[in-house]
Amino acid sequence: MRLWKSLGLLALLSPVIGEQTYYTTSTTTLVDALSADPDYTKLLSLLQRARLIPTLNRLNGSTLFAPTNDAIERNKLWSSASTHDNIHEKLRQELFYHLLNYTLSEIPSKGAVEVHKTLHFPQTHVEPPTDEPAPAPPWLPVPGGSLGGQPQRVRLAGKEEGAWAGVDAFGEGGAQIIKEVVHVTNGALYGLSDVLTVPPDLAKVVAHEPSVSYFHKILTPKITHVLNSTSEVTLFLPVDAAWDALHPLERTYLESEFAADDLNRILDMHAVNTKKVTWSDSFPKNITLTTIDGTKIDIVATPGKTTVSSAKLVKPDIYASNGVLHLVSELLIPPGALQLTPEKYLLASNCTKFVSLIHSVNLTHLINSTDVKYTVLAPRDDVLNVLGEDELPEMGSAELKRMLLYHFIPGKWSDKKLKDGVLLETALQDVGLGGGRQVLDVEVSDKEGKNIRFGGAGTIGEHVEANNTLIYYMSRPLVPPSDPLQTILPSLELSSFLAAIFSTSLADILRVAPRTTLLVPHNSAFERLGLLVSAHLLAATSKDDLSAVIQHHAIDGVEYAAALRNGSGLTFPTREGSDIKLERFKTGDDKKLLLSPSGGWAGMRSELMPKNMLTQTGVVHELSDLMIPRSVELTLGKLMKAAKGTTMVSMVTKAGMGWLLNGTAPPDGSPWADAGLTGTGWTLLCPTDDAFKSYNLTSLLADVDALQSIVSQHLIPVSSPVDADSTLPQLLDALNNNRPLSLDDSATYSTLLSPSSAYGDIIVRWENGSYVLGINGARGTNGNADWARVLAWGRSTTGGGIGGVIQIDRLIMPYYPTNWREYGVPVVVGILGVALICAFFLGVRAVWRKDATEATYEPVGGFGRDDIDDP
């Protein structure tokens, strides 16, 4: 059966072997010539092993390039029969490569290069050995194969030293023809110095071609498989120098493990796969070829030069078993055909883990387009590798997606455009911002070169521009802002306000309240507010007031530092319901931003310190002082309870002055209303409950008149704000503004008892590091009831925002001097005065009388003339 198949294939060879006859009756054949020459014994043996002796005898008019024994000894395949398969197919095909189907009568002259077609028809796949017996001779070449039905080619070249076979397009390499040609009746025999190397597949050709070493370097397994298994391939490969036209990062990307798809496309742009192979002998026709990728290659041949599109043909026709390789001077990539996206630059820059994270949350559209402008803040692999497994969100999670979006800034922000303190919008759109973009703070300093930080993280090295994208390499991954409470938690200076929030039901609300600017006072603000006010707000029974105060510090809207610094006279709505007002004050070089609440007392202000502590719902700034809204009424009653003065509250109530506790005006017809005290504010000196331990409360509360006197002694009417000065230092003096009274040393204040008692006034003293209040002019009773030490204070917001409560450690009883002190002393003083006056006049009279009764004398006979002065 195989005999008939072989005979049929012989008939198919007619287009290759022309009209020559296969049979000859000559007795001098190629086999005879080989047998007659001892240099060809090994070749003859190989022809017998490959069962090609009948084939040589039947071929008429052929040419055999015969390697000598020495040449075969140097060839591993031909010298070792053990490596051959049982039918010696590979050996047979190599022997066919040494055969031409026509007689070569003469060799090329010096400098000439000729191309000849052999009887070797390369096959892409060789059938494995079978159990069937080998076919009977003759073995004949099978047309078809991987060169589009064409046989493999071989070049001959004439050189100075003679003719050579198997040379390249420039006549280099090959095997020298070292024996004289032997002409026989069925052909010609040329002896070779070496075995001709059968062209391997394109993958091996590329691997052994030094001019395309870079392409071989970036080959992927898939490309290698294509090159060694695809038939009829015409390949135009750029030489190594051509790749220098690419950006270094582009080459780095192509060398990475992530460039497989782009490398496949680059191959397709340089490869033509049709039903035939295009050797250079067809170039003079000026043809246009279509690559596997669909791009066009225009080949124009002119004398001395052939161009392949925009490139020069450097080296044509490097033969391969499945095609041909042409070397060109440039890449055959049309402009824009190969898009180097930001993703490819990131991969080339060792940001592979960052790219993997992006892929896990389906954000590849941010890095796969060359049209969209972004500034990418990318940590390299060495940065991410030092992080523990728990330091990054889980792959594919919503938390990871949110974090990665924070690394993308719309627009190209070069270092020249960045300014210190600027806030840049990111690709992260937070629900807490009403769908608005989250911002990122930028720090720029020029110390030791321009240093740029994004979100507190430094940049490493120079940024890279990739088409419409800028890439900064970060020292750590950026963490998007968290909720406001989590944001202020690390700041110990803000812990008191945070604790106040958690003591109410507002924590969960403020965490998610959208578009909120939270103003957080320092811990010292609670002391600056006045200890009694702070004690009231932090009391378990005052949650409503505390909640209102906290919400008055939450602006309904996002106000970043720049807008606040440039604003003045602005009002902002708060979540409490009322507004706060922003004012700018300047004294010399001192500039301050002051906020005024909707309520509180006269002169209440807080210094605003814009900090831009970003949160997922807005921003946090710091304040120097707490602000009281108008919805919170700090009455005397509330402050007295905060001062632990419930006994004093009972006394005020029993004295008929309960209206004081609620901050209302005295009732019409009352003595206090008749005295014109309707619009007056009050400062009440409130003894603690411990101050009444030595008093009989039953008897104390039973005498209403005495009770009113005691309460009146502790009530100081205040008709105007404590501080009228509106200069910047005074406005910022919260420790002074929070006092119900100006506690200056020796300051004296009239009480409600003063109109009816000479000892109703209260005087202030500073003694031993604390304030002391006492009855002015009182002589004291061993100092036990005439004075008290100040423990704390708090201003009220009722009565026009003036007055308040001062906590003292003793009850100041009204001062009533004894009869002796009130009458005896003045009488004694009067008597002594009269006595002194009388004594004085008696003394004067005695002196006068003495002068009037003293004797005078006159000379006897009177004065003479001599006693009279001359005129």
The residues near 719 (Cβ < 8 Å, ≥ 6 apart) are 679, 680, 681, 802
Q: Give me the DSSP letters along 291-354.
A: -TTS-EEEEEEETTEEEETTEEEEEEEEEETTEEEEEESS----TTTS---HHHHHHHTT-HHH
Among the residue ranges 131-140, 166-175, 671-680, the one predicted with the least confidence is 131-140
pLDDT band at 5 (very low <50, low <70, confident <90, very high): very low
pLDDT tens sequence across 187-237 = 999 999 999 999 999 999 999 999 999 999 999 999 999 999 999 999 999
Kindly state the tokens that stand for 117. 């077609």
- Tell me if 311 sits within 8 A of 183, measured CB to CB: no
Measured in whole angstroms, the distance separating CA 763 from the mean position of its chain's CA atoms is 62
The pLDDT tens digits for 519-556 are: 999 999 998 899 999 999 999 999 999 999 999 999 99
HSE of 858, CA atoms in CB hemisphere, 13 A:
4
Q: Are 444 and 419 in contact (CB under 8 A)?
A: yes
Q: Cα–Cα distance between 636 and 640 in angstroms, integer?
A: 6
φ/ψ of 813, rounded to 5, equals -80, 145
Instruction: Express as a percent the part of the chain with pLDDT over 70.
Output: 87
pLDDT-based confidence at residue 23 (cuts at 50, 70, 90): very low
Query: Residue 46: which of 24, 27, 73, 26 has the closest Cα?
Result: 73
With cut-offs at 50, 70 and 90, classify the pLDDT of residue 733.
Answer: low
The answer to whether residue 509 scores a pLDDT higher than 50 is: yes
Q: How far apart are CA 69 and CA 185, in angstroms?
A: 24
Measured distance CA(33)–CA(43) in Å, rounded = 12
Which DSSP letter does residue 177 get? Answer: B
- Phi and psi angles of residue 711, each rounded to the nearest 5 degrees, phi first: -60, -40
Encoded tokens for 205: 């050709």
Question: For the stretch 345-359, what's the b/e string if a residue is b when 16 or more beta carbons lie within 10 angstroms of its beta carbon?
Answer: bbbbbbbbbbbebbe
Amino acid in position 737: N
pLDDT at 869 over 70: no
| pLDDT band at residue 109 under the 50/70/90 scheme | confident
Residue 19 structure tokens: 């009209």
Residue 826: per-residue pLDDT: 66
